[in-house]
């Protein structure tokens, strides 16, 4: 973090070096849970034992909170270091969704041991939450939501919330359910405290709720929360029964992770489990090598195209001067169109059915761009190689930019249609296609104009 310079954690460092538990506790009191987790993750001395010492010196409830902020790699290390009964204590205090995520990191033996040490309520909860597929609303949701029953008065609803508050992720939205636990409305705490104590919840609650199913994709969940400015999104099962909520902070994390993944995919970087700073060289190698090798072979087509025009090139070697500039322009225009489209699809600004309208607009824009760039290279062409080659270059430029732009616009739609993530390797794929077509267009135009 830019705002966490090296002096920031100085007091904690000194306290840990001293080893005095009281001093450690006092130093830790000045930090937030998120900061403590950051410190613990980046104290790599003695296999994380320094961090462990800090964690264990914290008050029990804070331990659970800090543990929830720690990344998966370090959580796995700690799961081996912390005695089972102590771990169960931490896990019990964690929020239900973080608990389930942590549980899914462990191997079968560890899961079994931990399971035995938990109370039956947490066990039940864990069994249910841990069973949802990664990347769905079910895996993201927490079961710590506040609920009141249809038919309650404001006073009894407030009393219920007061009593259950300590266990709940948020009590600012209480969901109203019928006797089958089906979601029928929501009432805000703000609404409850400003209403008459004797009023009925059913008369005050908002209906027509935005909700999602356990199998809804997490990106969609994040989009709904952002679109409707929700604090939390209720999640229902196939019988429309309320089973959990996803809170805005988890949605923010999903949106950030999605944006990162989309950018990485765009540049052919595969999934990374952790951030760049903590990723091992081998996992970085693995995430990058596959597409690089695929694209090497794709580029053989460009080489073969050039090879095909050996004769043309040999007799007009001056044509080579303009080749990089032409094929790069096609690729650049294509990357622009593709990026606009990929991001538009990801944020929901455009949908697959808009392709016709967008294609029309793209052709208009690309024609304008192509003409501008043709004008620019004509000057260079005339100075460097005379009017004949300048004509070839200008005509090729217009066609290449149009072609690159249209390919860049359509490829993400095509990937979307074929059920691939439109971000997948879009840029290099488009550059490669633009390269091949650039070479073909250029030398074909040259053959025609120069009469070869």
Within 166-185, which residues bind a second copy (CB under 8 A)? 166, 171-172
**Please, which residues have CB within 8 angstroms of residue 52's CB and are 6 or more apart in sequence?**
78, 81, 82
Residue span 244-263 as binding mask against a second copy, x where in contact by CB under 8 A, dash where not: ----xx-xxx-xx--xx-xx
Angle at 356 between CA 261 and CA 402, to 5 degrees: 80
Q: Applying CB under 8 A, which part among 78-86, 112-120, 301-309, 440-448 lies near a second copy?
A: 301-309
The residue to which tokens 């942590």 are assigned: 102
Which among 445, 320, 442 has a CA at the least distance from the CA of 384? 320
81 or 294: whose CB is closer to a second copy?
294
Binding to a second copy by residue 198, rule CB under 8 A?
A: no
Binding to a second copy by residue 354, rule CB under 8 A?
A: yes
Q: Return the sign of the alpha-carbon dihedral for residues 125, 128, 131, 134.
A: negative
**Closest distance between a second copy and the C-beta of residue 8, in Å?**
12
193 or 414: whose CB is closer to a second copy?
193
82 or 171: whose CB is closer to a second copy?
171
29 or 60: whose CB is closer to a second copy?
29
**Closest distance between a second copy and the C-beta of residue 236, in Å?**
15
**Closest distance between a second copy and the C-beta of residue 282, in Å?**
8
Residue span 200-229 as binding mask against a second copy, x where in contact by CB under 8 A, dash where not: --------x-x---------x--x-xxxxx
**Closest distance between a second copy and the C-beta of residue 317, in Å?**
6
Residue 241's region, left for phi above 0, alpha for psi from -120 to 50, else beta, is beta
Q: Residue 233: beta bridge partners? A: 246
Per CB under 8 A, which of residues 143..162 are in contact with a second copy?
Answer: 158, 161-162
Per CB under 8 A, which of residues 417..446 are in contact with a second copy?
Answer: 427-428, 431-432, 435, 439
Binding to a second copy by residue 109, rule CB under 8 A?
A: no
Q: Applying CB under 8 A, which part among 99-107, 126-134, 238-246, 281-289 lies near a second copy?
A: 281-289
Residue span 22-61 as binding mask against a second copy, x where in contact by CB under 8 A, dash where not: --------x-x-x---------------------------
Binding to a second copy by residue 275, rule CB under 8 A?
A: yes
């Amino acid at each position: 973090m830019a705002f966490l310079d090296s002096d920031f954690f100085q007091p904690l460092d000194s306290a840990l070096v001293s080893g005095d538990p009281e001093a450690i506790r006092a130093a830790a009191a000045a930090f937030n849970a998120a900061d403590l987790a950051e410190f613990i993750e980046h104290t790599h001395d003695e296999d994380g034992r320094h961090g462990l010492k800090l964690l264990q010196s914290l008050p029990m409830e804070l331990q659970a909170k800090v543990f929830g902020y720690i990344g998966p790699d370090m959580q796995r290390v700690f799961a081996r270091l912390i005695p089972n009964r102590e771990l169960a204590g931490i896990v019990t205090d964690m929020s239900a969704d973080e608990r389930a995520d942590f549980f899914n990191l462990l191997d079968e033996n560890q899961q079994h041991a931990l399971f035995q040490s938990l109370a039956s309520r947490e066990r039940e909860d864990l069994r249910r939450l841990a069973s949802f597929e990664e990347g769905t609303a079910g895996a993201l949701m927490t079961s710590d939501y506040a609920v009141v029953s249809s038919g309650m008065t404001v006073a009894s609803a407030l009393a219920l919330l007061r009593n259950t508050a300590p266990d709940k992720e948020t009590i600012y939205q209480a969901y109203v359910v019928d006797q089958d636990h089906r979601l029928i409305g929501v009432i805000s705490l703000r609404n409850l405290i400003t209403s008459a104590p004797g009023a009925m919840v059913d008369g005050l609650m908002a209906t027509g709720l935005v909700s999602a199913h356990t199998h809804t994709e997490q990106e969609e969940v994040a989009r709904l929360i952002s679109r409707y400015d929700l604090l939390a999104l209720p999640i229902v099962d196939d019988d429309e029964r309320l089973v959990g909520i996803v809170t805005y902070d988890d949605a923010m994390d999903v949106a950030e992770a999605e944006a990162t993944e989309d950018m990485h995919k765009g540049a052919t970087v595969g999934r990374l489990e952790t951030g760049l700073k903590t990723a091992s060289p081998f996992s970085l190698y693995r995430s990058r090598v596959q597409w690089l090798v695929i694209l090497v072979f794709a580029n053989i087509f460009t080489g073969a195209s050039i090879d095909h025009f050996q004769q043309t090139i040999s007799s007009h070697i001056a044509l080579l001067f303009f080749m990089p500039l032409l094929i790069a322009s096609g690729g650049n225009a294509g990357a622009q169109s593709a990026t606009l489209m990929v991001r538009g699809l990801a944020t929901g600004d455009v949908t697959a059915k808009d392709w016709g309208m967008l294609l029309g607009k793209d052709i208009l824009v690309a024609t304008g761009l192509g003409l501008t760039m043709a004008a620019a290279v004509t000057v260079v062409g005339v100075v460097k190689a005379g009017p004949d080659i300048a004509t070839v270059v200008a005509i090729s430029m217009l066609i290449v930019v149009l072609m690159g732009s249209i390919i860049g616009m359509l490829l993400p739609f095509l990937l979307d249609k074929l059920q691939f993530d439109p971000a997948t390797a879009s840029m290099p794929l488009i550059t490669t296609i633009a390269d091949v077509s650039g070479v073909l267009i250029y030398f074909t135009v040259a053959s025609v104009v120069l009469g070869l």
